[in-house]
C-alpha cells in the first residue's frame, strides 16, 4: 500500500495549510500584525500603535477672549493658510485634520503663496513618511493668527483636530 503523505505535493500542501491555520490564529480583529500569542512582541506593537495614534492630537487653543493684548496685537500682522485633510494609511484613518501655515504679513502679494507652499511641503512629507492617501477636504486663507482661525473653524465643527501650525517664515 502506498502512503499518501509520501508524495511531495501532498506534503507541501499539508504544510502550507497548517502554516496558514497557525498564522490566522495569531491575527486579531482583522489585523495583519500579531496581537496575541507572543506577549513580548505584542506589548511593543501596542505601545507603537498608541504612539502613532497620538501623532494627530488636539493642541489647546485659547479662546479669542482669553488672548492677551500682546497676542491680539501680534496676530494683526499675520496671514494664515489652512487645509482640512483626511489622512489614511493601512492602519490609520484620521478625518478632518487641520493643517495651518502662518506667515508675517509683509505686504507682498506672494505671502499667501509662500504659506500655501509650506502646506504643500508638509503634505508631501506626510505622504512620503506616514500616510498612503491624503485628501484635501477644504482650503481657506485669511489674515490674522492661525490660532484664531482654528478657533473659528472648531466652533463651526467640533470634530476638527489640529495637526500643526507651521511657521511659513522659515525656509
Domain locations along the chain? 4-53, 64-167
Taking only the tens place, the pLDDT of each residue in 133-158 is 999 999 999 888 999 999 888 888 88
Q: How confident is the model at residue 28 (pLDDT cuts 50, 70, 90)?
A: low
Q: Cα(166)–Cα(145) distance, rounded to whole angstroms? A: 12
Helices vs. strands in the chain: H and E counts, helices first: 5, 4
Position with higher pLDDT, 120 vs 31:
120
Q: What is the pLDDT of residue 13?
A: 74
Helix (H) or strand (E) holding 82: strand 78-88
The three cell numbers locating residue 56: 494627530
What value does the mean pLDDT take over residues 120-135? 93
pLDDT band at residue 35, thresholds of 50, 70 and 90?
Answer: very low
Mean pLDDT, range 25-38, rounded to an integer: 51
The answer to whether 137 touches 86, Cβ cutoff 8 Å, is: yes
Pick from 159, 162, 141: which is nearest to 98 by CA?
A: 162
- What digits encode the pLDDT tens for the residues 68-115? 555 444 446 899 999 999 999 988 899 999 999 999 988 777 888 999
Amino acid at each position: 500500500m502506498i502512503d499518501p503523505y509520501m508524495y511531495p505535493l501532498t506534503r507541501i500542501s499539508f504544510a502550507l495549510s497548517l502554516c496558514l491555520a497557525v498564522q490566522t490564529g495569531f491575527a486579531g480583529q482583522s489585523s495583519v500584525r500579531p496581537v496575541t500569542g507572543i506577549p513580548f512582541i505584542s506589548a511593543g506593537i501596542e505601545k507603537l500603535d498608541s504612539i502613532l495614534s497620538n501623532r494627530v492630537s488636539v493642541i489647546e487653543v485659547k479662546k479669542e477672549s482669553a488672548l492677551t493684548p500682546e497676542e491680539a496685537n501680534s496676530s494683526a500682522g499675520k496671514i494664515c493658510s489652512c487645509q482640512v485633510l483626511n489622512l489614511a494609511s493601512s492602519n490609520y484613518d484620521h478625518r478632518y485634520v487641520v493643517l495651518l501655515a502662518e506667515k508675517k504679513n509683509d505686504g507682498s502679494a506672494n505671502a499667501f503663496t509662500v504659506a500655501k507652499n509650506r502646506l504643500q511641503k508638509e503634505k508631501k512629507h506626510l505622504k512620503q513618511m506616514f500616510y498612503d492617501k491624503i485628501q484635501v477636504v477644504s482650503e481657506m486663507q485669511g489674515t490674522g493668527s492661525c490660532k484664531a482661525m482654528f478657533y473659528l473653524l472648531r466652533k463651526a465643527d467640533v470634530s476638527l483636530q489640529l495637526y500643526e501650525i507651521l511657521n511659513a517664515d522659515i525656509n
